[in-house]
Amino acid sequence: MNNNIKEQILNGETVLGLELGSTRIKAVLIAKDHLPIAEGSFAWENHYENGYWTYDLEEVRQGVQSCYKDLKQDVFQKYGVILKKLHAIGVSAMMHGYLAFDENGTLLTPFRTWRNTTTLEAAQKLSDLFQFNIPQRWSVAHLYQAILNHEEHVSSIHSINTLSGYMHELLTAERVLGIGDASGMFPIDPKTGDYDEKMLSLFEEVKGDYSWKLKEILPVVKKAGEYAGKLTKEGALLLDPSGDLEEGIVFCPPEGDAGTGMTATNSIREKTGNVSAGTSIFGMIVLDKPLKHYYPEVDIVTTPDGAPVAMIHCNNCSSDINAWINMFQELLQMTGTDISQDELYRILFERSLEGDADCSSMVNFNYVSGEHVTGCENGSPLFIRSVGSSFNLANFMKAQIYSAFSVLKIGMDLLKEKEKIEIKRIYGHGGLFKTKGVAQRYLAAALNTETVIKKTAGEGGPWGMALLAQYMDAYNLSLADWLEQKVFVHDEEETIIPNPEEVSGFEQYIENYKNLLSVEKEAGMLLK
């Protein structure tokens, strides 16, 4: 088997998926059978500077180089060859946000990421104007807020982009974007597969006296399977400064992490859904018909091949859990106990299974940043318990994990109640599901829906991106058919059916949660 893979590497038949996530840049190399054969990673964190969550673009370059170097070393250690040629490459990244450049490609203002909740006025005005929900995270909301704030840089804008589109342009010199990621910049017309012309015209009427037109500064939209450029000489040296990597490798359209998550979980077909749980958490339901109304809690985006998707995006998921576990590990280290963080997560997650179904009247708000779904502009992690709570480790940990799904549940319940959307199965992926049978079980209870974790789900976004790059060879099949018939045909999976007692317990927990939202809002306003 290793000899076969070695030949594929030497012949340039393998495919690279690269994803710039919130806490990690990761690369996955896959063989012709679609399975991963090597990987690399680079850990990083966003910074809160001058009122904005941001990443420095120099760190983006350095992180991508470090990640690719790690992948290259993994290939050499496993197969004894130097990675020089590739069949195709795909780049993905966290969606939304705001990167604005002048005509010389100079960044005009620090990168404003999806995590910022600074565009409420713009988001509300644009939603009213378009009669279509424009979330605060979307690029057009950031742009319009900059206009409303009379920011000087707006007059110098030549282009705006997302992080995946920016990285793709560095590597290929092509300013294009996959339709899924583009749908987080500006609304997409499902009939044309391009930005909505009517809404573009409405924006031009309110944008003010600027020489640029919005359509001209947005990236060109492309769907999954389409050609999106080749690796330039400069791009090859950016990825691999050693000069080993050859130029000319073809690229698929760059995508957002929502699109790669849908691909990695085979959730592309109508009425399928998935939940991605990491630093943020979002649920995606592929629609078979348009929603009757628009809601501030529900984003309408698309699959990588352009089908409309209802998305419940929540800014906060695992960060608060991570902070508590880091503190527990610090305590253990002080006692001389040597335990890996992975093992500590497993122990604490499994301990939560012994907790009460409703967490014994304990409630946790994991808001490291604001949450638009629950109307909290500012974040403030907050743990509350009643005097009569059974305050033990199991209930505490269960409340922490429940908290990761709480805002998602509120948004999903809205779709079920107001739009009568039926969710038969939800596919989960992301780090929160790493401990088998714990977070998956609580997600089933939260959504009262059968939940599935695929054996390959742990590969996550970069694997999904590699698959999208590989799909360029199979464009005669629809993306959904190709995934079902070629990629997931023998895939293993774990399924959990909701337990009625746990469903009832989560309902009680969420009732307490909603009753205490006013306390969380107050804390977010008062604590600095």
Architecture of domain 265-528: 2-Layer Sandwich (3.30)
Structure tokens at 102: 């002048």
State the angle between helix axes of 393-419 and 319-334 in degrees (0 to 180), rounded to the nearest 10: 170
pLDDT of residue 1: 55
pLDDT of residue 422: 82
SS3 381: coil
Q: How confident is the model at residue 22 (pLDDT cuts 50, 70, 90)?
A: confident
CB atoms within 10 A of CB 106: 10
Q: What is the mean pLDDT of residues 165-171?
A: 98
**pLDDT tens for residues 261-278?**
899 988 898 888 999 888
| Cβ(413)–Cβ(437) below 8 Å | no
CB burial of residue 500 (10 Å; 0-12, 13-18, 19+) = exposed
Task: Give strand ranges (E) for 248-295.
Answer: 250-251, 255-256, 273-277, 281-286
In the predicted model, is pLDDT for residue 103 greater than 60?
yes
Q: Where are the domains of the chain?
A: 1-93+234-253, 96-161+176-218, 265-528
| Cβ(30)–Cβ(43) below 8 Å | no
CB burial of residue 96 (10 Å; 0-12, 13-18, 19+) = buried
| Rounded distance between C-alpha atoms, residue 32 and residue 455, angstroms | 19
**CATH assignment of 96-161+176-218, given 3.20.20.70, 3.90.226.10, 3.30.420.40, 3.40.1000.10?**
3.30.420.40
Q: What is the mean pLDDT of residues 500-509?
A: 97
What one-character DSSP code corresponds to residue 126?
Answer: H
Superfamily of segment(s) 1-93+234-253: ATPase, nucleotide binding domain (3.30.420.40)
> Who's near 16: CB < 8 A, 6+ residues apart?
27, 28, 29, 71, 86, 88, 89, 90, 466, 469
| Rounded distance between C-alpha atoms, residue 410 and residue 302, angstroms | 22
Note whether 1-93+234-253 and 265-528 share their fold: yes
Give pTM, 2 decimals.
Answer: 0.85
In the predicted model, is pLDDT for residue 459 greater than 70?
no
